[in-house]
Amino acid sequence: MKEMHQYLYTMRKHPEQRFVLATVIRVDGSAYRHVGAKMLFSETGEEYGMVSGGCVEEDLSFRVKEVLNSNVPQTISYDLRSEDDLGWGQGAGCNGKVYVYLERMQWTEETKKAGWERVFKELEEGHSVVTIKAVDGIEKGSVYFFQENGKALLEPPFLFGGEEASGEMFKHFQKTGEAFTSFEWGPENSTYIAEVFDPVDTLYLFGAGRDVEPLVKKLAEYHFSTIVIDPRQSRCTKENFPSASEWICEHPEKFLQEKALKNNSYVLIMTHSFERDRFIMRNLLPKKEELAYLGVLGPKRRTVKLLDGAAVPKWVSSPIGLDIHAEGAEEISISILAELIATRNKRKFVKGDQLAVI
């Protein structure tokens, strides 16, 4: 749930405001978005994200006012299966019933002590966080935070039933291999939801030409934290790339010799310099297992030359982006972004002994 990082950032940026976080906790049938989908409402009327195709957001905005005033979480259900214009589906044929959990949040000292500041810090540092939250019963509204190995982020970390029950809950969630699940627990069969909050993906962009300005803007909108690397001080600036997370005015050779890339990061090579591109490619090709994606701008025949005539490995994207016959910087940025999203979404459905990444 990478959108949670952005929502925490928004709340942290506006500590004077109250917000309501909406989470899809159950879907019977099919729906526009899956369980775990989130949307954030501010008390001043701003809305961030969507939890449906527009069928329920207007009604949710009214429910939000109730939660803001009462500070009592609510679970609202919407039956979208109706195919006439009188139902929530408004003829959209969503063919599902959606349950949305609403909870009030604000970046106060109390909220920070409750763990959200620690969660934000963990996400900023590139670590995932597991949350287990009670949505009804005697612990309704309580939320607990764990590292992916089950270690509690805060004390006391224990849910209903103490340390042993907390450990059993975490193990139950881990065994599902899912990034979001709900289950009943305790003598009252209270409902809990467990989910993984993941950090935004780190993307290293080698090259700060004008052609990548629209790309960097779009990357931020889709939860990529972009680090721009270019030796030109006139180009590698916050003014040119306000949506980037970092600007490193260094030659790629110096950067790669002195710094290690984060595991599972994305790399775009767009320097427009043959020699620099060749150095970067030679440096990164042995790091296949460490990278989620490696793409290089230009036709494949150029990439072959970068590799001194060797075949381009299948895991390297060349030419970069999806083939939509893009022309111009804007269309090319859409092509590249689409391929990055496709790569990320393929990876998130891989399951194993560890928690799934989403």
For the chain, the structural domain boundaries read 1-107, 116-199, 201-348
The model's confidence at residue 155, banded by pLDDT at 50, 70 and 90, is: low
pLDDT (average), residues 84-108: 72
Looking at this protein, which amino acid is placed at residue 272?
H
Q: What is the mean pLDDT of the chain?
A: 87
Choice between 141 and 226, residue whose per-residue pLDDT is larger: 226
Paired tokens of 226: 């972009």
Are 123 and 134 spatial neighbours (Cβ–Cβ below 8 Å)?
no
Q: pLDDT tens digits for 9-39?
A: 899 999 999 999 999 999 998 888 889 999 9
Q: pLDDT tens digits for 103-148?
A: 999 998 776 666 888 899 888 888 889 998 889 988 888 888 888 8
Residue 164 has pLDDT above 80, yes or no: no
Residue 179 has pLDDT above 90, yes or no: no
Choice between 281 and 174, residue whose per-residue pLDDT is larger: 281
pLDDT of residue 349: 54
Q: pLDDT tens digits for 288-322?
A: 999 999 999 999 999 999 999 999 999 999 999 99
Residue 354 has pLDDT above 80, yes or no: no
Residue 203 has pLDDT above 80, yes or no: yes
Enter the CATH code of domain 201-348. Answer: 3.40.50.720
Q: Is the pTM of this model over 0.85?
A: no
